[in-house]
């Protein structure tokens, strides 16, 4: 049964932290750039850099006449740098040849593109996941993506997107979870909390993170449990209800997954955050948020599941 609130689609993607493949000299810069928005994680930033410059901070591209057209480790053209160039090391200037500045600017620019394309993807005007169409826009321009309603049919752009998605796999590593409470339940809550503000997208999300620009309710729970514990739980609210360990409502702990029978079909799920609250992806038009369980959700039957 397919019900409102959750979807059935599981997508691939790139999320998590960084592997040891990132050069030590640039690791902190890449992590910072990859934390600006949830749509563009550090592994994508790293893969872009390899594709653009092979980690060479002195790289320069030239046109057919030998004129320079793109500079530095992230290969910015002068016009784009003039708009987005950022001071990444606090020295008071934005220098395209300084990796700290260039890599931060890369994250800023990627996220600006993703932010502008998110409503187009969510509304169906642009087809494809937000990472792929953002990379396509980085290469071919946003207007080309809008005109094509997705990745443009340019061999260069299609090859660029495919290469970065492939390269990103070697840079993806385990995500580090901050905070003093190192319990698995606290980690699940922390991972979910990082997604607050991410748009609801029906069928969005999975073990690798948001897809199509966001999460639905069960995509968020599957992602949060996986990143925090390494366990792959079922994808839909109905199947999550049959997995893990059943826990009485009065014995809930932060990180437990609550499945609600709010529609006659156990169609919604959230993560208990403690203090009578949960983190969930509510419905179209909303974003991942912290919600009070009382009074609205207390009127329905619950099934609390523990995956720690």
- The Cα–Cα gap between 44 and 33 comes to 10
Strand partners, 215: 200
Check for a shared fold between 17-173 and 184-306: no
Give yes or no for residue 4 having a pLDDT over 50: no
d(CA 155, CA 105): 26
Contact predicate 41/67, CB 8 Å:
no
Q: What is the CATH number of domain 17-173?
A: 1.10.530.10
* pLDDT of amino acid 189: 93
Cα 40 → chain centroid: 6
The pLDDT value recorded for residue 150 is 95
E-strand spans in the chain? Answer: 17-18, 60-62, 68-71, 172-173, 245-247, 257-260, 268-274, 277-280, 289-292, 302-306
CB 39 within 8 A of CB 120: no
Which strands, in side-by-side order, build the sheet including 277-280? 245-247, 302-306, 257-260, 268-274, 277-280, 289-292
The model's pLDDT over 59-94, given as tens digits with 9 standing for 90+, comes to 998 888 778 889 999 999 999 999 999 998 888 999
Which is more confident, 272 or 208? 272
Contacting residues for 225 by C-beta, under 8 A, at least 6 apart? 188, 231, 233, 257, 307
What is the rounded CA–CA span in Å between residue 250 and residue 168? 43
CA distances from 285 to 1, 150, 197, 265 (A): 23, 22, 11, 22
* Residue 141 CA to its chain's centroid (Å): 21
Q: Are strands 60-62 and 68-71 parallel, antiparallel or unpaired?
A: antiparallel
pTM to 2 decimal places: 0.59
Query: Whole-angstrom Cα distance, residue 244 to residue 305?
Result: 6
Average pLDDT over residues 246-252: 92
When computed from its CA atoms, the radius of gyration of the chain, rounded to whole angstroms, is 21
Q: How far does Cα 194 stand from its chain's mean position? A: 10
Kindly provide the residue ranges of all beta strands, DSSP E only, lying in 98-256, ordered along the sequence: 172-173, 245-247
- Name the residue ranges covered by the structural domains of the chain: 17-173, 184-306
Architecture of the domain made up of 184-306:
Alpha-Beta Complex (3.90)
Provide, rounded to the nearest whole percent, the portion of the chain with pLDDT above 70. Answer: 91
Q: What is the pLDDT of residues 170-205, one digit of tens each?
A: 887 755 544 445 589 999 998 998 888 889 999 999
Q: What is the pLDDT of residue 241?
A: 96
User: Residues with Cβ < 8 Å from 275, sequence gap 6 or more?
Assistant: none
Residue 217 token pair: 């309710």
């Amino acid at each position: 049964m397919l019900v409102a609130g959750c979807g059935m689609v599981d997508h691939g993607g790139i999320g998590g932290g960084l592997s040891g493949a990132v050069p030590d000299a640039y690791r902190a810069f890449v992590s910072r750039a990859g934390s600006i928005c949830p749509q563009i994680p550090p592994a994508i930033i790293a893969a872009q850099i390899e594709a653009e410059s092979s980690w060479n901070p002195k790289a320069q591209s030239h046109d057919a006449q030998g004129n320079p057209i793109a500079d530095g480790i992230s290969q910015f053209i002068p016009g784009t740098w003039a708009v987005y160039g950022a001071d990444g090391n606090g020295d008071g200037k934005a220098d395209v040849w300084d990796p700290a500045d260039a890599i931060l600017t890369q994250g800023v620019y990627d996220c600006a593109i993703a932010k502008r394309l998110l409503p187009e993807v969510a509304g169906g005007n642009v087809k494809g996941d937000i990472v792929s169409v953002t990379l396509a826009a980085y290469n071919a321009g946003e207007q080309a993506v809008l005109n094509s309603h997705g990745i443009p049919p340019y061999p260069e752009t299609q090859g660029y997107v495919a290469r970065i998605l492939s390269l990103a796999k070697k840079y993806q590593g385990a995500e580090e979870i901050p905070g003093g409470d190192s319990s698995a339940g606290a980690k699940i809550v922390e991972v979910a909390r990082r997604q607050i503000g991410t748009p609801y997208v029906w069928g969005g999300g999975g073990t690798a993170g948001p897809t199509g620009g966001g999460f639905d309710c069960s995509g968020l729970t599957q992602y949060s449990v996986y990143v925090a514990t390494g366990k792959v739980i079922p994808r839909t609210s109905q199947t999550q209800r049959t997995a893990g360990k059943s826990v009485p409502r009065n014995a809930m702990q932060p990180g437990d997954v609550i499945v609600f029978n709010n529609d006659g079909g156990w169609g919604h799920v959230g993560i208990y955050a403690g203090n009578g609250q949960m983190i969930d992806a509510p419905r179209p038009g909303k974003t991942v948020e912290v919600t009070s369980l009382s009074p609205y959700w207390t009127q329905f039957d619950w099934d609390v599941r523990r995956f720690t």
